[in-house]
Amino acid sequence: MKPKRYIIDVFMVLLLGTSLAGCHPKMDVLNQAEKIFIKRVDKTADKLDLNAEQKIQLEKLKLDIRKNFQDGQVEKKEAMAKIREEGLKGDPDIQKMTSLLQESMRAETQRINRAFDLMLGFQKNLNESQKKRLGQMISDWVGKWK
């Protein structure tokens, strides 16, 4: 094995080891994302003066967002179990472990994108003045990022 390849393999094992050894509860991206999305949806909805039907649709949206992220957490746990199993083998396949970790991270990103899609779908329930207000709120919010 080439020295450079050996260093890369050792680094990957250390990276995987630290992520699996106790840091992962603090880095639960999907749980944090769920909380942020629900909080943002609630704050935004409070400012839009929703009618009764829209509030029902809002609750459905929040349930869909929660389900999206909870399904993602199940998938992530399954991927982490596979990585752990591979790591416990006598001669673990580092490339396989890395590939599984990369796929898990891609899946997290897809879950976050799905939550945005769900929020975009909700706007069809809004009337024109609410859509204008929402557009202004988004513009103001993004304007604070400067």
Q: Within a 10 A sphere around the Cβ of 54, how many other Cβ atoms? A: 17
Per-residue pLDDT at 24: 47
Higher pLDDT among residues 55 and 143, named by residue = 55
Average pLDDT of the residues in 16-32: 65
User: How far, in Å, are 30, 42, 45, 128 from residue 125 at the CA level?
Assistant: 26, 15, 12, 10
Q: What is the DSSP track for 14-41?
A: HHHHHIIIIIGGGG-HHHHHHHHHHHHH
pLDDT reading at 124 higher than 60: yes
Share of the chain above pLDDT 90, in %: 43
For 53, the enclosing helix (H) or strand (E) is helix 52-88
Which pLDDT does position 139 carry in this prediction? 86
> Quick check: 25 pLDDT over 70?
no
Q: Report if residue 71 sits inside a domain.
A: yes
In a domain, 111, yes or no: yes
- Look up the domain containing 17 and give its range: 3-133
Rg (CA), the chain: 21
121: in domain? yes
d(CA 78, CA 144): 39
Instruction: Say how far apart CA 109 and CA 39 lie, in whole Å.
Output: 19
pLDDT of 33 strictly over 60: yes
Residue 140 lies in a domain: no
Is residue 7 situated within a structural domain?
yes
Q: Are 50 and 58 in contact (CB under 8 A)?
A: yes
The answer as to whether 55 is a domain residue is: yes
Tell me the pLDDT tens digit for each residue of 43-65: 999 999 899 999 999 999 999 99
Q: What's the mean pLDDT in 78-97?
A: 88
Mean pLDDT within 78-100: 88
pLDDT band at 23 (very low <50, low <70, confident <90, very high): very low
Q: Please name the residues in contact with 72: beta carbons below 8 A apart, sequence gap of 6 or more.
A: 30, 107, 108, 111
- What's the number of domains the chain is made of? 1
Query: Domain for residue 144, yes or no?
Result: no
104 Cβ contact list (under 8 Å, min separation 6) = 75, 76, 79, 80
